[in-house]
Structure formats: C-alpha cells, structure tokens
Structure 1
Amino acid sequence: MTVHEAAVMEALERVIDPEIHRPLPDLGMIKGIDIDGGRVTVHVLLTTSGCPLRGTITADVEEEVGKVEGVEGVEVTMGVMDDDQKKALREKLTGHAEREIPFTKADSLTRVIAVTSGKGGVGKSSITANMAVALAGQGLKVGVLDADIYGFSLPRMLGITHEPQSIDGMIVPPIGTDGVKVISIGMFVPEGQPIIWRGPMLHRALQQFLADVFWGDLDVLLIDMPPGTGDVAISIAQLLPNAEILIVTTPQIAAAEVAERSGSIATQTRQRVIGVVENMAYLTQADGSRLEIFGSGGGDTVSAHLGALLGYQVPLLAQVPLDIALREGGDSGVPIASSTAAHHASPTATELRTLAAKLAEHSRGLAGRPLGVAPVRR
C-alpha cells in the first residue's frame, strides 16, 4: 500500500509542541518528509539545538505517523532552525516584529494579579504557586511571573526542571505543574549565585519578562511580588497599570500593619486591591480544635482598614491554615492545591481551591473592547 505524504502531514498536525502548544507544521518545524515504501523519515527542525523536549517530540512523531495506514516504520531526524526561520516563527507567534507587552494592549483578555505582602516570611510565594495550579485545575490557562528577583522560589515550587528556550530573542517559558507557564530570574543564574541589582536593572528585567516572553493566550497572569513597596512594585505599576493587587498576611497584628502599607500603594498607582489572604491562620489539633499560633484578626484588620482607605470593599478571601503538607508540596514541586498532590483533598487544599474559584469568577469579558470588525458598504 502506498503511503501518501498528505496523510503523513495530516498525522503531524496532531503532534503538538510541548511548550508552544501549536502543531509542528504550523510552527514551520517540519523540514521535509521522505517515504520509501512503508518506511517514513520525518525531518524536524528544533528551535534550539539543546531542546530538552526533543525526546518527547520524537516519541509523539513516531506515534502519530505510525498510525498512518501502510506505514511500517518511522524515523525522526533532528535539525535546528536558522536565524531567518527563528525570526519568522517569532513574528508568527507574536503577530508583530517589535516587542511589546501584550497585557497592556486594549484587546488583552488576560487578568493580571500581583500577589504581594508587607513583609517576607508570610507565605506569599506558596499562596501564588497554589493559586496557579488551582486556577489551572479549573480549566484556565495560567502563567506565573516570579518578580521576587532577590528571593525567587517559584521554579522549585512549580516543578520546573529545565531552562527556558529562546527563539530569535523571544523566550519560551517552561511548563510547570498542571501546565502552568513560569518565568523567573532563577532560570538564568547559576545555583547559589545572588542577584545584586539596583532599580534600573530590576525594571529592565521585569520589562523583558513581560515583553520578550511568549506567554500565549493566558486567562490569568500571577505575579509573585517581593515584599514591601520598593522598586519592583513601582515598576509593575508602570508596566502593568491594569494589574490588580492581592494582599497576603498572617494573623499577627504586627504583620497585618505592615501588609496594609503594601495595599495602600494603590492610592498612588490607581490599581485595585481585590482582596486579602490570611496565611498560617491556625493549626488544627488532633481533637479538631484550632491553635492560633500567630494570634488572630490580622486578615480582618487589613481588610477593614484598606476598605476604609480605598473607599471600596476589600474582602478577606481566605484563611489558610498551617499545614506540613503545604510546605512539602512546595519543596516537591507539586503544590497541595494540585489535583495530583497527595493531600489534594485536605482542608488546606480545599481552602486554596475555594480562593482560586473566587478569583476565577472574574470573566474575560469583551465589553468595551474593539472586535476588529467594520460595517460592509452595499
């Protein structure tokens, strides 16, 4: 039986690039197809020579092409795109030659949430990682930008195992747990090396993460902010004026007072504070009682004071208990709110998924957005 090239190409349309999430032919990654009787050789062009997913791509090509009637064997050869091919791919993916921040465009439907705190050590990154997988579990496309340049931790928490790939200067973010896209300065520096930058360098790094990274069509972009109201908070307000703010605090009144300051920045940046999360709210005892190790009332205090200051309701969205499994999930790269986590049915995981559900209620509406259509003259 004759094997037709059109049938092989149709099979290749079912092979999806693991990071860009488009069919290989659509990305220009198929250089050619050779057919010799029942044996088919597919020549694939990778975006980089060191692509960590070449094995996955090879296996997927062999599987799909092997299903074509008459095919007796499949061989995959790997090459690398030249500069012109990479440039064409970048322009195809982004839709433009110049780099720009897609989330500031008038037609962007991505909700941007900056997760912040007044001080370090309140579990802000843990909340971010768990919200990311919980939102992904509800069918949303989620990206995470680790803007805590000095204290980055999201790559580990979200199970990132390889470096980002670059296509003509465009960065393809690695895919973490539950399909969450992640970018962090920690992916670009040797392990253990500190980041010693001042304001302008921080601003440039954030700008590059927003403009030079191929985020694709996201429903939600979470930004893990450094604590406080320093350079990064100012840069995010300038680069993403539409970003909303989510405050993380602990029940301790002293921590809550500091957390209020990180929310009060909205009076100057004109961003909206969408709510407060109280982390480490209590420790559940064997008899079911709650031990309030860090006191109580911090989340309610921040909620009430920011509401009075900003002139609108700032709700307390969640009270997340202390849980060893929450820490273990962050260390293992499988956050507790993931459906694949060992303790995904625990009260802590349920509270985190409930928090994500409240945030997911925000629809990607088209009201007030241009649809790119015009009346036809008759």
Structure 2
Amino acid sequence: MTLDRQTVIDRLRSVKGPDLEGDVVSLGLVSEIFIADGKVFFSITVPARRAQELEPLRQAAETAVKSLPGVKGAMVALTAEKAGGGMGATPPPRPNPAPPRPTSQRSAPGGPAAQAGQQPAKQDVPGIKAIIAVASGKGGVGKSTTAVNLALGLKALGLKVGILDADIYGPSMPRLLGLKGKPETADGKTLKPMEAFGVKVMSMGFLVEEDTPMIWRGPMVVSALRQMLRDVAWGELDVLVVDMPPGTGDAQLTMAQQVPLAGAVIVSTPQDLALIDARKGLNMFRRVDVPLLGIVENMSYFVAPDTGKRYDIFGHGGAKAEAERLGVPFLGEVPLTMDVRETSDAGTPVVASNPDGVQAGVYREIAGRVHTHLAAAMQSAADEAPAIVFE
C-alpha cells in the first residue's frame, strides 16, 4: 500500500464525527494533509467551545492514521478555524443543533471559564523547573545562535538544561548543534529528546528533512509546539530554553499564553529598525504577564581579526538604551565575530567548542545574569502566590 494523501483520507473515513454523526471526511472537517518522511500532519475543525470534550476524536484520528502501513508517526490538531481546502464534502446543515455540552473546565477568578476571551490555564511540564523563551520581533538578528549559547552557558553553571526549537518554519537546532537522525520513542507515544554537549534537544528539524517546507497555518503550528513540549521525555531539567519563532503572530502569542514561561529574553541588533520590532516582542510578553529577564544586543560591534580595529556596523548601544528606557535588565553585548559564525555553521557552538575564549565568556556572563534574574522572577511569583490558612 502506498502512503499518500488518498490513503490517509480513506482511513479517516472510519473516524466518526462529533456526536458520532457521519465521519470526519464526509463532514468536511479535515484540513489539507501533509506527509513527510512517513509522518502525517493535519487538523480537524471543531467548535472552539468543545475542543476539550472532543479530544477523544483527535486521538481516534491519530490512532487510525498510525495504523496505516508505512506511517512512522502522526500529528493531529483540533482547530476552531475552518479548514482550508477540506478533504471532504461540505457539512450538511443541521436544523436542530444540540445545545453545547457542559465541560469540566474550572472557572477562573472574575467569571466562568466559558466567558469570552477566557484563556485556558497554563499547565506545568512535569520535571521542568523553569521554562524561558528566547525571542525577537523579527528574524535575522541571531536569536537561535544566542539561544543555543545561552543554554550551554546555563549548563556551564551546573544546571540541567534542555532546548526546544519552537521555530517550526525554520528550525535551526539540528545544524547549530550538529545533530542528525530521528528521535526514538519511549513508549510509542512519547519522544526521547536528542542530546548534544550535555543538553537535551527537540526540534521539528529532527522529524522532517531540512529542505522540506512546512506549509502550515497557525493552529497546526501551535499543536505541534504543544506536542513537542508535552509529549517529550525531558526528564528532570532545571531550565528549558525555548527558541521562539520570530515575530509576534498567533503562534508566538499562543505559546506565551499557554506555556508556563518563567521569563523571556529578547534578542535585538543595535539599529533602530530591529529595536522597533524588539519592542513588539517586549510588549507581547508584558501583556500576557511573562517576566522580562532582559535584552541582549547581538552583533553589537565588529572587531577586524587582522587589525583589531572596532567597527560599529549596525550602530552601537541601541538595545542598552532601550532597556534603560523601558526599565528592563540589559544582559550584555555580543560582538559579531568570525568564530561565532564558523562554529555555529559547523554545529559546534562557541561556548562548547572554545569555552575559555572571549566570545564564550560573553555568553557565560549573559547566562549568569539570566540565571540571577530568573531566580528573582521565580521568587517574586512564589511570594505573590496566595496562601491557604487552615484554622
């Protein structure tokens, strides 16, 4: 049997739709199907209010597809967004729709959980003490290089560290860390993270080929990120560094709202254009009450290797001035050097390959400041938590 789009559609016809009416294909609930390296990705459209209730439907679809010969894995998302280019017929009209079933979702302070705009509660990830995001308002500022060297700097402090490469469209960690191959499964459901330089790593880049485009809409991206975070056997970690996608779109906002982030690090270059976008990232985290651990000015200046002369190619000090203006910690300046670029391309980050070098020292100092601000943020959160007194 050939694994193709039609084969998957035929198998999904055996999956009953919501309330056991029809099937997910004939009801037009299945999105475009993406197949890469034996892995199948798609989403199922359901009413937003019933997403939690219909989780068994998602699981049934995933199980059905996984049973096909040649399928190595399946990633299925529930989405309230109408699937574009659906796989089946348009759903027939229902003259007497049943009223929505009550869910077990608990009410939050200030009103019931079902009220408009209510966000689901963030759930801790077992075994992970703190999750921090490394973000930028735009791409091309060296966010991923900063994230990987920050993670290695935190490890150098004696911490147990992991990295989640959340940049679905442009995963960088396999190349930055020189990792190849596919992650194994622990129990058929949970993935084992890859490991490099003593740091545990998970990335979409391990699941699809490097040149395979991820033509996904927001809900699929969010679902994939959630699974890579929660369906991975991370073990015991002091810190999980999340290399966020660039920008401040739906995927980034949903991650910030649903992942229990202990803090965020913003990466920017010195010039005004990059700082404009960095402010957007800062404001996004502030709006969802994620503590800002600080700003890193990357590509801060260039020192010519032959003469030692310094050049402020992109200007200098813009990120530090912005941090002072906004009352956010300034974490440090990372110069633009050949060795950082060469070691990154070679899969041997400078903190690991030349730990005693000047550049590694800069990243270790930044990691130390991040650790200090992280501890303060976590202590502040603990102090603000309500106390239950028994009398």
Q: Which band: TM-score by shorter chain?
A: 0.5 to 0.7
Q: Per the alignment, in what secondary structure is the counterpart of residue 248 of structure 2?
A: coil
Output the CA distance in 2 between the equivalents of 1:226 and 1:213. 19
Alignment of 1:191-270 (within 5 A): 191-270=210-289
Is 1:348 aligned to residue 359 of structure 2?
Answer: yes
Is 1:358 aligned to residue 372 of structure 2?
Answer: no
Q: 2:340 aligns with which of 294, 308, 326?
A: 326
TM-score (norm 1): 0.64
Output the CA distance in 2 between the equivalents of 1:315 and 1:237. 20
Which residue is equivalent to 2:318?
298
Q: Which amino acid aligns with 2:193?
A: P
Alignment of 1:1-378 (within 5 A): 104-105=123-124, 110-166=129-185, 167-176=187-196, 178-285=197-304, 286-307=306-327, 314-338=328-352, 341=353, 343-361=354-372, 362-363=374-375
Structure 1: 5+ residue stretches without partners: 1-102, 308-313, 371-378
Q: Which amino acid aligns with 1:216?
A: G
CA contact (8 A) 2:300 2:317 kept: no
Which residue is equivalent to 1:83?
none
Q: Which amino acid aligns with 1:316?
A: F
RMSD between aligned residues: 2.6
Q: Which amino acid aligns with 1:133?
A: L
Residues 104-113 or 217-226, more deviating: 104-113
Identical aligned residues as a percent: 43
TM-score (norm 2): 0.62
CA contact (8 A) 1:107 1:369 kept: no
Output the CA distance in 2 between the equivalents of 1:335 and 1:278. 18
Deviation at 1:298, TM superposition (A): 1.7
Output the CA distance in 1 between the equivalents of 2:303 and 2:365. 19
Deviation at 1:191, TM superposition (A): 3.1
Q: 1:267 to 1:136 in 2, by over 3 A?
A: closer
Q: Per the alignment, in what secondary structure is the counterpart of residue 292 of structure 2?
A: strand
Output the CA distance in 2 between the equivalents of 1:290 and 1:118. 27
CA contact (8 A) 1:260 1:306 kept: no
CA contact (8 A) 2:124 2:260 kept: no
Structure 2: 5+ residue stretches without partners: 1-121, 386-391
User: How many pairs were matched up?
Assistant: 260
Which residue is equivalent to 1:31?
none
Q: Per the alignment, in what secondary structure is the counterpart of residue 274 of structure 1?
A: strand
Output the CA distance in 1 between the equivalents of 2:125 and 2:195. 27
CA contact (8 A) 1:156 1:331 kept: yes
Q: 1:264 to 1:323 in 2, by over 3 A?
A: same
Deviation at 1:350, TM superposition (A): 0.8
Q: 1:316 to 1:368 in 2, by over 3 A?
A: closer
Residues 221-230 or 283-292, more deviating: 283-292
Q: Per the alignment, in what secondary structure is the counterpart of residue 201 of structure 2?
A: strand
Deviation at 1:288, TM superposition (A): 4.1
CA contact (8 A) 1:249 1:298 kept: no
